[in-house]
Amino acid sequence: MYGTRGSISAPLRNSQYREKIMNILQLSKGKILSSDSEINDFFNSLPDHLKFTAGGDTTCISVTSSTGKVFMVDCGTGGRVMGDELMATDLGKGKGELELFFTHTHWDHIQGLPFFKPVYIPGNKVNFYSPYPDLEDRLIKQQVKEFFPMPFHGTASTKSFTTIKRGEPIQFGDMTIDFYPLKHPGGSYAYKFTENGKSFIFATDAEFTGDDMDLIKSMSGFFNGVDIMVLDAQYTLDESFAKFDWGHTSYTMAVNCAVNWNIKNLVLTHHEPAYNDEKVFDIYEEAKMHNEYVPNSTLNILLAREGMELEI
């Protein structure tokens, strides 16, 4: 995962960095930290919000098939980091091909594209997929001269655009990719990757409330039994009431959806930019607590963290 923050990037600020360091130093009081292994053990004993940051970059993930083929979903500001990593592959030599899927085109899902180096390299082929017939126009608009110095088609890679259709999953070898519409202002789509009986769903930017139980049940055909699902869980329950109709879900409803759909592992993402790491990691603990009270739940919950890798 290259980008886990929702709505707008939220880098760790100096005051937050200082607070983390001061908290760690407080916890080290009286400890003997004279060897590397003592330092390591101490570090590993720290609470997650001091050991990690949830991450400041906006949505971008990659899915790698069993054959090593890389699929990218969304190009928020995390896309810059992914692009820099891909420069060490054939994409850095102008001999690469990349499949890039978009859930939707809100800023936090496309703004990394102008900084995604592989699109600038002649010889590369970048294939864009989405259910939006006008995706190309939307990406061109993002880079008109009033907003960015380099037009989208001024970049040297070869580009292709495919509009994918409901009920017509696309196939890359053994990997099948399908999608499903989500409730979100302007629309958004979940993607499901299935290969060798294993499945992964990426469903960010979706709003589910307690009033949506019929809708949630009607979606179980697509979502049922998936091994890993990354789902929008931007808000606390209170905030989801205050921000009704803003297009995002509370962590409690994210857990309820996942249990309803018999998901094995739920990954909470699209973290609220106003929340610091302590609050985001608190939400994670509260989501796990909520799950304990959901009848018959066997759900495992994880928190999306920048740089996190999961294997099915």
The Cα diameter of the chain in Å comes to 62
Q: Which stretch binds Zn ion (CB under 5 A): 17-25, 86-94, 105-113, 173-181?
A: 105-113
Of 108, 195, 212, 272, the residue at the interface with Zn ion (CB under 5 A) is 108
Closer Cβ to Zn ion, 205 or 277, answer by number = 205
Strands 300-303 and 265-269: parallel
Report in angstroms how near the CB of residue 266 gets to Zn ion at its nearest. Answer: 18
Beta bridge partners of 61: 73
Q: Which stretch binds Zn ion (CB under 5 A): 88-96, 100-108, 192-200, 276-284?
A: 100-108
Residues 191-230 that bind Zn ion (CB under 5 A): 205
Closer Cβ to Zn ion, 108 or 212, answer by number = 108
Instruction: State in Å, rounded, how far the first CA of the chain is from the last one.
Output: 15
Report in angstroms how near the CB of residue 230 gets to Zn ion at its nearest. Answer: 13
Report in angstroms how near the CB of residue 221 gets to Zn ion at its nearest. Answer: 24
Report in angstroms how near the CB of residue 303 gets to Zn ion at its nearest. Answer: 17
- Residue of 208, 284, 207, 204 lying closest to 246 (CA atoms): 207
Q: Rule CB under 5 A: say whether 106 interacts with Zn ion.
A: yes
Number of residues that bind Zn ion (CB under 5 A): 3
Closer Cβ to Zn ion, 55 or 96, answer by number = 55
Q: Quick check: 3 and 308 in contact, CB under 8 A?
A: no
Report in angstroms how near the CB of residue 69 gets to Zn ion at its nearest. Answer: 26
d(CA 19, CA 10): 16
- DSSP-assigned letter for residue 211: G
- Residue of 49, 54, 42, 45 lying closest to 19 (CA atoms): 49
Closer Cβ to Zn ion, 59 or 62, answer by number = 59
Q: Rule CB under 5 A: say whether 57 interacts with Zn ion.
A: no
Distances (CA, A) of 287 to 200, 237, 271, 280, 299: 20, 10, 13, 11, 11
Q: Which stretch binds Zn ion (CB under 5 A): 86-94, 103-111, 159-167, 280-288?
A: 103-111
Report in angstroms how near the CB of residue 271 gets to Zn ion at its nearest. Answer: 11
d(CA 225, CA 241): 29
Q: For the beta carbon of residue 312, count every other beta carbon within 10 angstroms.
A: 16
Strands 198-203 and 97-101: unpaired
- DSSP-assigned letter for residue 1: -
Report in angstroms how near the CB of residue 179 gets to Zn ion at its nearest. Answer: 15
d(CA 54, CA 307): 9
Closer Cβ to Zn ion, 76 or 96, answer by number = 76
Report in angstroms how near the CB of residue 62 gets to Zn ion at its nearest. Answer: 17
Closer Cβ to Zn ion, 106 or 271, answer by number = 106
Residues 69-98 that bind Zn ion (CB under 5 A): none
Q: Which residues form the interface with Zn ion (CB under 5 A)?
A: 106, 108, 205
